[in-house]
A = this chain, B = another copy of it.
Amino acid sequence: MNTNNIQIDSQGKLRHLLKIDGLSRSHLTQILDIADQYIAYNQHKYSALDSLKNYTSVNLLFENSTRTRVSFELAAKRLGVEVINFDLSTSSIQKGETMLDTIHTLQAMHCNFFVIRHSENNIVEFIAQNVNHEVAVINAGDGTHAHPSQALLDMLTIRQHKKSFEHLKVAIVGDIRHSRVAHSAITALPILGCKDIRIIGPDFLLPESKITGVEMFRDMKKGLEDVDVIMMLRIQKERIKNTSLPDIQEYYENYGLTPKKLKLAKPDAIVMHPGPMNRGIEIDSSIADGPQSVILQQVSNGVAVRMAIFSVLAETLAL
């Protein structure tokens, strides 16, 4: 099954947004360029755009995520899209309805965007394979697999601070193995030209096999040397407890971003985090709130990028 074909239509246009894999540089930069325009609307008193007034978006969150849901909901509403929140914990799926029946029901109601978050990998692609020409599927995070809108907002944020991706050194730190954020970023960066990607973490949180073009570091101090961008990942405390690592304090000492470790990076390095943060575990509060942090800018960019995603996908829908 070639799932790339699902994302791209016969004219090469984006049809769904399921993952970064298989997208071209122009797919990515198209979204980033449109997002740039929307940022102006969001920063200033944006006038209602209403450009997608006839569209409906459904938030289908099988996995709890208020932060991402609100970002997509705001992005949709600021384009005039009607938004329906579909609480899966109280839905007909409980009554034994199959997921495809639920999807086809929403499709029959002429909903156009399905924003889906799911704890399992590949469910979102399965859904995309089963919708008609009126529906675009947007992966809002599935399992440990992909989180493409997060990758796009991360790329937008980097592009705002760094002249080019070509000579950029990017370090991603933490639980790489289970992170869809890391996976999506590692895929997006080379597409945009980045050639120096480092992933940093303890053995049990690094990928089980080598990733082409990505260097692995167990020693954070070595990995951070001279980098332009540091992407910190959220660590799940439960994961640390169930391993040989003695405790959270040791994790912080080895892999938390402290002022001392930050000094190893370039002086103008930016610090990113997808949120929500565990302050004092993977990142020191003084850095989270410090001058090199672009964490809240990532949040702002998230709304603009999602507006751009809706706009781009709307073009390929046949309504």
Contact = CB atoms under 8 A, between A and B. Distances in A.
Interface in A45-63: 45-48, 53-54, 56, 58
Given A101-B276, A297-B108, A319-B44, A73 B78 contact: no
A201 to B, nearest CB: 19
Given A70-B84, A97-B276, A104-B296, 8 more contacts: A47-B53, A66-B91, A67-B91, A70-B109, A96-B278, A97-B275, A108-B299, A109-B300
Nearest to A45: B319
A74 interface: yes
A106 interface: yes
A46 B42 contact: no
A277 interface: yes
A74 B66 contact: no
Q: Which 10 A-B pairs have the closest CB atoms?
A: A97-B276, A108-B299, A45-B319, A92-B276, A66-B91, A108-B296, A108-B300, A45-B54, A77-B82, A42-B110
Size range of the interface on A?
35 or more
Interface string A72-107: 011001100010101100111001111001101111
A262 to B, nearest CB: 19
Contacts of A102: 276
Contacts of A187: none
A43 B300 CA distance: 35
A239 interface: no
A108 B92 CA distance: 33
Given A67-B92, A104-B296, A56 B44 contact: no
Contacts of A77: 56, 82
Copies in the complex: 3
Given A54-B47, A98-B279, A90 B64 contact: yes
A4 interface: no
A92 B70 CA distance: 12
B82 A303 contact: no
Contacts of A97: 275-277
Contacts of A279: 98, 101
A236 to B, nearest CB: 9
A125 to B, nearest CB: 20
A160 to B, nearest CB: 14
A319 B71 CA distance: 19
Contact of A67 (B64, B105, B296, B300): B105
A259 B267 CA distance: 72
Nearest to A50: B48
A237 interface: yes
Interface string A220-243: 000000000000000001000000
A284 B297 CA distance: 52
